[in-house]
Structure 1
Amino acid sequence: MTLDTLLLFMIASVALAITPGPTMLLAMSNGIAGGMRAAVWGIAGASLGTAILVAVVALGLGSLLAASEGLFNAIRVAGVAYLVWLGVKMWRSEPIDIHAALAASPADILRGRTAFLRSLTVALSNPKTLLFFAAFLPQFVTTTSPQIQQYVVLGTIFIGIDTCVMLGYAAAGTQAVRWLSRRSLRMVNRGCAAGMWLLAATLAVWRRPGA
């Protein structure tokens, strides 16, 4: 793997990371609902999910999903249902009271764990992401060299870039809490919910090339 290949991969990863997706919307939503503490927990969950998907591709298991229409559809249905449910939760959620949020409490830990599990589930419940990684990552891997180490390097770079972008989304969410009215925050929550439903609809109708 050459330096030029790594630079090209980094540019492509930045372009992919800044595109709004479910984990990015969750980062912003977690920042609004629980501040940076909850958002960081959620980012950790999303990053762990991405690491698992990269490991699955590196081990060659992504080809199993690509070959099995039944398995792909089962995971897709589960992913669509979860995104719809998450959108309903966001739509119904009440905007945070900034004065109450500034007072630290043990509930912050529970909220953080909830954000972690929610983001991890979203990251793992999208078969489209796994197939994308299966098609994207091998283009930057040199087949004549040990491949596992290269996947580790590529996965680390992508997760690092993705984490930085999610932190930006989360920071935007925390600033929204401070500067927007409760009515405006409710609209932001519902906008994120609508985004989740749009992503669910996209996943529901998406077909793999050649399918």
Structure 2
Amino acid sequence: MLAVNPELFAAYLFATAVLILMPGPIVTLVIANSLAYGQRIGLATVAGASSGNALLVAAGALGLTTVLALAADLFEVLRWAGVAYLLYLGIKQWRAVFSAGAEGETAPMKSHKGVFGQGVLVAITNPKTIFFYAAFFPQFIDPALAVGPQLLAMSIAFVIIATTLDGLYALLASRARGLFASARANRVRHGITGTLLIGTGLGLALARR
């Protein structure tokens, strides 16, 4: 007997891919870091975001959705800390646009551990991610089949799809980085990166659970 309903699961995979492809805080952050620091840092950001996604999906699979809801105050603190930090990074990039050293490589955050943590923070404080499991998954569960195996398959598929598509954004953005080799173009890159980081911060600030 199949663990999932093939038709429902196929619909779930398609819907998940469409939702993840829609630009949000995670995608914006991945693009910003990839443009600013290159492929490795971009992929480290993806790894952090995927880890955050996996933690939340696992929590939902273990029936901890209620716990996540009860911890709303903690998530609010983390969210606003993330907002402040992303705005700080964005402003620092914009300062580089007008500074004398704009030709150089400014790196307010360039360590793999740093951007990994940044990815985790944005993922776990993103309302779409936190309540994705509770609101979205049940629509594709076949009540005639065991729920556990379906949730496991959907959880694994979600993390794989998110990691793959976010990684694609990172690779494309890092390739585009080569277009900003001149000093003037480098200033434009700083401006784009700063705008994306500020946009990510504002996106988290305006998000509602």
**Structure 2 match to 1:132:** 132
Aligned length: 196
Distance 2:22 2:73 in 1: 29
Amino acid at match of 1:179: L
**Structure 2 match to 1:38:** 41
Classify 1:51/1:92 alpha carbon distance in 2 versus 1 (closer, same or farther; 3 Å): farther
**Structure 2 match to 1:64:** 67
Amino acid at match of 1:83: L
**Structure 2 match to 1:171:** 171
Task: Give the counterpart of 1:78 among 81, 97, 110.
Answer: 81
Quick check: 1:5 aligned with 2:8? yes
**Structure 1 match to 2:29:** 26
Q: Which moved more, 1:5-14 or 1:185-194?
A: 185-194
TM-score, reference length from structure 1: 0.75
Distance 2:66 2:196 in 1: 29
1:33 is displaced (CA, Å) by 3.2
Distance 1:58 1:52 in 2: 10
User: Any unmatched runs of 5+ in structure 1?
Assistant: 98-109
1:75 is displaced (CA, Å) by 4.4
Distance 2:103 2:43 in 1: 19
Identity %: 34
1:137 is displaced (CA, Å) by 1.7
Give SS of 1:142's match.
coil
1:166 is displaced (CA, Å) by 1.6
1:50 is displaced (CA, Å) by 0.7
Give SS of 1:168's match.
helix
1:17 is displaced (CA, Å) by 1.4
The 8 Å contact of residues 36 and 189 in structure 2, kept in 1 or not, is answered as: no
TM-score, reference length from structure 2: 0.76
Distance 1:86 1:144 in 2: 50
Distance 1:66 1:40 in 2: 30
1:25 is displaced (CA, Å) by 2.1
The 8 Å contact of residues 128 and 203 in structure 1, kept in 2 or not, is answered as: no
Classify 1:166/1:182 alpha carbon distance in 2 versus 1 (closer, same or farther; 3 Å): farther
Indicate the RMSD between aligned Cα atoms, in angstroms: 2.9
User: Any unmatched runs of 5+ in structure 2?
Assistant: 97-101
1:15 is displaced (CA, Å) by 0.8
Give SS of 1:20's match.
coil
Classify 1:61/1:95 alpha carbon distance in 2 versus 1 (closer, same or farther; 3 Å): farther
1:22 is displaced (CA, Å) by 2.1
